[in-house]
Amino acid sequence: MFTFSIKGQDYCITSDYSPNKSLLLNTTHPDYSQYAFCVKIYVHVIRKDNHTGGQSISDVNEALSYLDLDFNPYQIYFDWDNIINYIDDTAIFDNPAGYWLSLPENQDGVDIYLFDDSVVHPVTGLGYGSTTNVGETSKLMVTGYFVGYEELLYSLPKSHILSHEMGHVFNLWHTHHGEDSNEDPDACDELVDGSNSDVCGDYITDTPADPNMGFNIDLSNCEWTGSGVEDNGDWYDPDEKNIMSYSHPYCMEYLTFEQSKRIKTALAVFPFLQLVSTYSNSAVNPCATSLLNYYPNSSNEVLNLDLTNKAFNTIYTFNLCDSYGNVVLSGESQNVLNTLDVSSLDEGIYYLHFFENGELTIKQIIINH
């Protein structure tokens, strides 16, 4: 159906197909940009049969530090239970691309598969990362190394490429999306003057038009070595520091505010991302209050609000609002299991507002009879 173009250098082999694009772009969503989000993650490390090779505990922490570095400035945090799931299988270790899609996927967290720094792509001879298309599943992988300034070798799992693939999970396209898209029927070239930046390119207005730098970057100054003009005759000036570009991993530094806004919308409205995340209207990291357990979601007859992991001797208040903001159910509780009868509510999307020590956490609840 579609093919990846593996270039001489290519650190990401994610297809630009996005099954949820219309949900993201073609409907009017609330502005979630000032909310804080917590994303649950699972970390899997692939080793050889004899338990050797692969990323060490300190390597994993270094890799995850890139997620914090790139997402925390926008109040997007990650919640990891500090448990590494080791997969000790030499066949998988040696062939990430052949096996990683068949590895298990948790529904309530993003699965991060970290392969060994030594295992490269058989064609490019370099490391690579991948997700299953853009904004489709909560699963990603990174393997191998890249060649940085003065030919030094760097680990790709311990680089901004981990954030790049996480960006794809959160429905960010490449900044050059539209230039050479295989899978997006609406794709069109973004103009340098920004006049079509909301409907072409990566559909993000604060990333400059990007013709696809193809990793052709002068590593001594992180400047794109190419040049060219778009249809208006204006010279391209792409952002070599943007993590979602085909700049070079050595030069990547950040995501933009509009990219963070896109991520938060996707986390709030995509069903598969709702399952892995929670959000709050406070500035406090909502991962710190993520002991709120509720199930099932979607709910039919009852919604269980399990506060048994919460602190003793505190009164917690909660309410359930419909999508118009009307409170349809409310209550107070100590740290016990609450079984809420939702059988009489109309089907649809609701919001559970949970108050703890003055902080509000909001969870999206689907009622489906």
Q: Which chain residues interact with Zn ion by CB under 5 A? A: 12, 14
Reported residue count of the chain is 369
d(CA 134, CA 17) in angstroms, rounded, equals: 6
Q: Report, in Å, the least distance between residue 185 CB and Zn ion.
A: 20
C-alpha to C-alpha distance for 49 and 92, rounded to whole angstroms: 10
User: By C-beta, is 75 or 130 nearer to Zn ion?
Assistant: 130
Sign of torsion, CA 84 88 92 95?
Answer: positive
**Cβ–Cβ < 8 Å for 232, 191:** yes
Q: Which is closer to Zn ion, CB of 53 or CB of 249?
A: 249
Q: Which residue is nearest to Zn ion (CB)?
A: 12
Q: Please, which residue, 215 or 270, has the CB nearer to Zn ion?
A: 215
The residue with tokens 């991302």 is: 273
Shortest distance, position 72 Cβ to Zn ion, whole Å: 21
Closest approach of Zn ion to the CB of residue 182, in Å:
13
Residue 159 beta carbon to Zn ion: minimum distance, rounded to whole angstroms: 13
CA 177 to CA 188: how far, in whole Å?
A: 8
- DSSP helix/strand/coil, 69: helix
In the bound complex, what is the minimum distance in angstroms from residue 131's beta carbon to Zn ion? Answer: 8
With beta carbons less than 8 A apart as the criterion, state whether 319 and 301 touch.
Answer: no
Q: Are 119 and 143 in contact (CB under 8 A)?
A: yes
Q: How far is CA 342 from the centre of its chain?
A: 31
Q: Nearer Cβ to Zn ion, position 110 or 342?
A: 110
- In whole angstroms, the minimum distance from the beta carbon of 130 to Zn ion comes to 8
Q: In the block, which residue shows the tokens 């001489």?
A: 8
Smallest separation (angstroms) from Zn ion to the CB of 167: 8
Rounded to whole angstroms, the Cα distance separating 17 from 19 reads: 6
The smaller minimum CB distance to Zn ion, of residues 12 and 345, is found at 12
Residue 138 vs 285, nearer CB to Zn ion? 138
Written as one string, the DSSP assignment of 354-366 is EEETTEEEEEEEE
Between 245 and 361, name the residue whose CB sits nearer to Zn ion: 245
Nearer to Zn ion, 140 or 320 (CB): 140
Task: Kindly tell me the sign of the dihedral angle through the C-alpha atoms of 53, 55, 57, 62.
Answer: positive
CB of 135 to Zn ion, least distance (A): 12
Tokens of 268: 């709030």
- For Zn ion, the closer CB: 14 or 159: 14
For residues 204 and 296, give the distance between their C-alpha atoms in angstroms, rounded to a whole number: 35
Return the DSSP state at 170: T
Q: In angstroms, what is the minimal distance from the CB of 154 to Zn ion?
A: 18
Rounded CA separation 366/369 (Å): 10
